[in-house]
């Protein structure tokens, strides 16, 4: 009996993302979903979407605002938030609330994964676990509930920050 891999740790730098559509495909999908909803494509929406995609994972509205400002100094915070909301509605982005004040956003529709967050350096490591997925379904079944989504977050000290806790 083969030993199937149940847990997979994924830690990619922003420039090395797997399982993603190309930026062009992604933007096209955005345009299509906007059209479906009778909404318009605009230069700002494209800029924001592209900047977001380029930045990789776990981006805050503030960070995105900063990035977009670099190329186009004339976007307002409001448009950032409005576009992020749109991208959520178009199911291209998902919103996460880690234990900070602000929300973070990531490209949606990749394989489901969960997060480890280092409490010292803020590093976020992603992982997938089919066992955890299965267990969650089992628990939902026991409760008598239907699951729409779920969230597993581990907090602690990462490899590099272990042993520096008391510094």
Number of residues that bind its own copies (CB under 8 A): 36
Rounded to an integer, what distance in angstroms lies between the CA atom of residue 7 and that of residue 153?
A: 15
Residues lying near DNA in the complex (CB under 7 A) are found at: 34, 38-45, 60-62, 74-79, 81-83, 85, 101-103
142 part of the interface to its own copies, by CB under 8 A: yes
Per partner kind, with CB cut-offs from 5 to 8 A, the member of DNA, its own copies, none near residue 158 is its own copies
Give least dist CB 2 to its own copies, A.
19
Contact 41, 31 (CB under 8 A): yes
Of residues 23 and 122, the one with the C-beta less far from its own copies: 122
Contact 6, 131 (CB under 8 A): yes
Among 114, 119, 107, 116, CA closest to 14: 107
Of residues 3 and 159, the one with the C-beta less far from its own copies: 159
Rounded to an integer, what distance in angstroms lies between the CA atom of residue 49 and that of residue 21?
A: 14
Query: 3-class DSSP state for residue 93?
Result: strand
Give least dist CB 96 to its own copies, A.
9
Among 128, 122, 132, CA closest to 155: 122
Q: 88 in the Ramachandran plot: left (φ > 0), alpha (ψ -120 to 50) or beta?
A: alpha
4 part of the interface to its own copies, by CB under 8 A: no
Per partner kind, with CB cut-offs from 5 to 8 A, the member of its own copies, DNA, none near residue 94 is none
Per partner kind, with CB cut-offs from 5 to 8 A, the member of its own copies, DNA, none near residue 151 is its own copies
Give the binding site for its own copies (CB under 8 A).
7, 9, 97, 99, 116, 118-119, 125, 127, 129, 131-132, 135-136, 138-140, 142-159, 162
């Amino acid at each position: 009996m083969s030993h199937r891999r149940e847990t997979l740790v994924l830690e990619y730098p922003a420039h090395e993302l797997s399982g993603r559509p190309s930026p062009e495909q992604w933007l096209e999908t955005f345009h299509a979903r906007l059209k479906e909803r009778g909404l318009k494509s605009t230069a700002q929406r494209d800029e924001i979407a592209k900047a977001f995609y380029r930045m990789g994972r776990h981006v805050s509205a503030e960070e995105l605002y900063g990035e977009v400002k670099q190329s186009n100094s004339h976007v307002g915070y409001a448009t950032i938030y409005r576009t992020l909301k749109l991208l959520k509605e178009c199911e291209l982005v998902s919103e996460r609330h880690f234990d900070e004040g602000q929300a973070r956003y990531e490209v949606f529709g990749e394989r489901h994964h969960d997060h480890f967050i280092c409490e010292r350096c803020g590093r976020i490591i992603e992982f997938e676990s089919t066992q955890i997925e299965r267990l969650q379904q089992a628990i939902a079944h026991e409760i008598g509930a239907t699951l729409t989504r779920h969230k597993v977050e581990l907090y602690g000290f990462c490899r590099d920050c272990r042993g520096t806790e008391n510094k």
